Structure 1
Amino acid sequence: MADTYDAIVLGAGAAGLMCAARAGQRGRRVLVLEKGEKPGKKILISGGGRCNFTNIGASPANYLSANPHFAKSALARYTPRDFIELVDSYGIAWHEKTLGQLFCDGSAQQIVDMLLAECAKGGVEVRCNAEVTAVEHDAGRFAVMANGQIATAASLVIATGGPSIPKMGATGYAYDLARQFRLKVVEPRPALVPLTLGGEEVLFREISGVSAPVVATANKTSFAEAALFTHRGLSGPAILQVSSYWRPGDEVSIDFVPGRPADWLVERKRETPRATLKSLLREALPDRLADILAEKIGIHTELGNTPDKALLAAAVRLARWSFHPNGSEGFAKAEVTVGGISTAELSSKTMESKRIPGLYAIGEAVDVTGWLGGYNFQWAWASGVAAGEAL
């Protein structure tokens, strides 16, 4: 005999728990099935274990999607301020870091506990270690088999995320389900991921561990944050941000001296003619990075003995230093996924499939991807609420 529910949510991550809590508190009988041994595993590792749970500046402009307008409705109806009110109501202390990023003072476990408490308020049943082996749809109801048990419901919510961080149990199951129901999928690719260097650029691996504030650009999208050189290539917040816009074959350009005018080296030549390019770069950048940039530019004379033309060319190169990544570190190191279930298939108001009544997709499973810094959590909360209000 099958257990009957109003809604079954697949996945006990940020979006799934938020959706289940909202639906449960509206009187719906909700079952959450999570294949991991505990809920919220990605929440627990986020923000260095302190959960960067939202960004106070979150707006549709901070998201990538084949349809950049899709996220507007949900984000407008459930804002960062709404989530902060929920956090405050549980007495969870938080602080703002840079660029509007909010973190728990204590532990990410507080956010998971809060979501589970919200689910409990609505009588939501959460089952972990639930391996879903079949999903069927017939006569307006969904039947889900997990661990040999069948549960049925009028509504099914796909909240199983994307394939990023497979060591946490992430898979492409959401896309398998989407294809089963003939929903289009925008090709998934790793996002917020370190980039790898090869060829002559391997030289930069020698300064692994060195970071500096830069402006990084890929496909005309720029971010002013830190870049970090690694033993494999490039990382750090600025690089993770542009990686979402980078495609194989594209270059990434880095401004190592942001805010400097084009003639700054010529001006410094007049002020301090005995200075060298290396010494000037050491004023602005870590020594090892300054040395490698000066070496590659190839100006070894004092500025007073260097033609203005050469200094102007050096300034241009420092402001638009081109790297040609030969790849990324893939889904294993990606924080999120670009792509996913096509927004063309879903209602932007409810997250419900336009063709299959009762089927919903939310969170990272959908082709909406936020920047680094709490934006993806805000999408999880907002899309979860949108579906939870509609179930």
Structure 2
Amino acid sequence: MITLDLTADPVALTAALVDVPSVSGEEARLAGALEAALREQAPHLEVARSGAAVLARTHLGRDRRVLLAGHLDTVPIADNLPSRRDGDRLYGCGTSDMKAGNAVIAHLATTLPAPRHDLTLVFYDCEEIEAARNGLGRIERELPEWLRADLAILGEPTNGAVEAGCQGTLRAEIRTTGRRAHSARSWLGHNAIHRAAPVLERLGRYEPRDVDIDGCVYREGLQAVRIAGGVAGNVVPDECVVTVNFRFAPDRDAAAAEAHVREVFDGFDPVVTDLAPGALPGLAAPAAREFLAATGASPSAKYGWTDVSRFAALGIPALNYGPGDPNLAHTREEHVDVARITEAAEVLRRFLA
């Protein structure tokens, strides 16, 4: 049986969480240890379980509720367990993305029995894989009352910065067709790969927008991320598929993003295969302003999609704030600066105490 000490220094707690492997779909062991620790060490919290997710909350009658969330899962281990300390760095799978954030959240919730805001903790599963398996979606369907809050803070790695909102993401396939022929008699066919040239030309000419929302500048991007075509080395191909990825500012909703892609590729028929809206910064919310004051930092736009989008869809302002470095996420050399863990704990304690 794994025993976690949630009252321990958050750096030590990070190492303990990292040393329990929790690749996506295999979080149950870590979730069980975390649930047991919360029930034993934080009697002021109501604790619940949903699959491999662990939830806890206070009932103090405060005017506002702050939700602190983090995913328990990691990408597959890359010979980087168990954790190891090297000077000011803690190495190991999940250190940065995002067990350091989880450690800070769990430690504060346990050691702050009477915070100034009511707290909800959500440690969820399957964030690193397909959205259909994301534990937040299951919680929203089965335990929606647990996701009600005035502000949500995700412990995603931000290197100690406050990243507001997030970009939306759209993937689409653009298919061109032709006629097969022997490449020695190519004039008898029509090359589908060649017919994809206008798609690439439009991408090459594309000028992305920079969008300033509440002082956060979101930069859009439209890129080809895959080209598939060809049958054999002596056959004129009769089909080619160009996959494009559009990262869009949160002032566009999903419908507007799809309409923009269709406009760019007018004359073709893009087939959308994945679409997730972004999240507006939500910095005007009183609890968000309080948190920014506690950090003393200026917020910046989140480049990339995170689960703040799910909270924004529920009408909850949401921010990304965590001690990990996003540039180290998913790497073999993944690590976290221990000073960032201590700093994050101090900032959140200042906000909540």
TM-score normalised by length of structure 2? 0.34
TM-score normalised by length of structure 1? 0.32
Pick the structure with greater CA Rg. 1
Relative to total residues, which structure has the larger helix share, 1 or 2?
1
